Amino acid sequence: MQTGMSVYDFIIEKQADFPHATGDLSALLTSIQHAAKVISWQINQAGLGNIIGATGIDNIQGEAQQKLDLFANDKFKQSLAACGEVCGMASEEDDDYVAFEPVNGKTAKYVVLIDPLDGSSNIDVGVSVGTLFSIYHRVSPIGTPVTKADFLQPGRHQVAAGYIIYGSSTMLVYSTGQGVNGFTLDPSIGCFCLSYPNISIPQQGHIYSVNEGNYFKFPAGVKQYLKFCQAIDETDNRPYTSRYIGSLVADFHRNMLKGGIFLYPSGTNAPNGKLRLLYEGNPLAFIVEQAGGKATNGYQRILDLSPMELHQRTPFYIGSAHMVDKLGQLLVAFDS
């Protein structure tokens, strides 16, 4: 694939890899792009209008909703409902899933799960934020009302997944199960253009990303892994470098390109972990595996977990395969 190719041309060309493709998924991905462009523009205006700060309302997670959280959620909801390819959407910002009415009588076969604006509290200080999304085939009969079972699917059943990072540039990174490609938004033409073809994460990295302020609340195996990362070993290029932005998409994006591991363990204040399986864990796990990395909850592959509720949380370890494997070994050894 030629660097600089528009994402629209890329998607059309990639349809040839799927002999039975009807163009429905391509249209869905295009609707996500459209919403992302609007949100990117709005984020770039933060501070110039009344769009930053909290709304004074908590979401279902008990977290303060930011004005841009609601803006992004509404834009994706509007775009996905209008495209006609999606029968329902579940969002980190909504208590329950939302069913969409058919568009022009068309029966839709996809559902989308989305974190509209991850790390939105960082916008006030100019730190990168992002959107994460997962796409599944519905499991209920086409033409009937969408059900919760359509959304409570293991991550391995994802048809496509991706993220948008709003930073020094706006990037769309996604996979349909045929590798991972990244596209940078060219604001002069309003188009995402191929900039990172066939992304592959290094098997061994030298960056670890974790909020070490919670160190004393971490499981013993995680504490031991951090000591391993910080120990001097010239043959292994240790100590590793600590890099933590506090914005999941930004931390993951850096580690995928450079090699590293992101850790969000369980803790005394979050015994089941803090990150959401459906909105954060599954899409990034799908991406990282397509790029050659791994994602686990410490003991199980993230994509094999069976969700029981829409806002289920999980411990989350993701990144270079050798680093995730080493962490897993220490968790088993010290937490048994």
Confirm whether residue 119 is marked as ligand binding: yes
Q: Which amino acid, residue 120?
A: S
Confirm whether residue 274 is marked as ligand binding: yes
**Cis peptide upstream of residue 145 (ω within 30 degrees of 0):** no
Parallel, antiparallel, or unpaired: how do β-strands 110-118 and 129-137 relate?
antiparallel
CB 173 within 8 A of CB 165: yes
Confirm whether residue 115 is marked as ligand binding: yes
Confirm whether residue 282 is marked as ligand binding: no
Exposed, middle or buried: residue 198 (CB in 10 Å: 0-12, 13-18, 19+)?
exposed
Confirm whether residue 211 is marked as ligand binding: yes
Confirm whether residue 120 is marked as ligand binding: yes
Task: Give me the half-sphere count of Cα atoms (radius 13 Å) on the Cβ side of residue 278.
Answer: 27
* C-alpha to C-alpha distance for 234 and 241, rounded to whole angstroms: 13
Exposed, middle or buried: residue 237 (CB in 10 Å: 0-12, 13-18, 19+)?
exposed
Confirm whether residue 92 is marked as ligand binding: yes
Confirm whether residue 148 is marked as ligand binding: no
Q: Which of 229, 248, 247 is nearest to 239 (CA)?
A: 229
At 265, phi and psi to the nearest 5? -75, 170
Confirm whether residue 117 is marked as ligand binding: yes
Q: What are 141's two structure tokens?
A: 């009969």
Residue list, annotated binding site for substrate: 118-121, 211, 244, 274
Residue list, annotated binding site for Mg(2+): 92, 115, 117-118, 280
Residue list, annotated binding site: 92, 115, 117-121, 211, 244, 274, 280
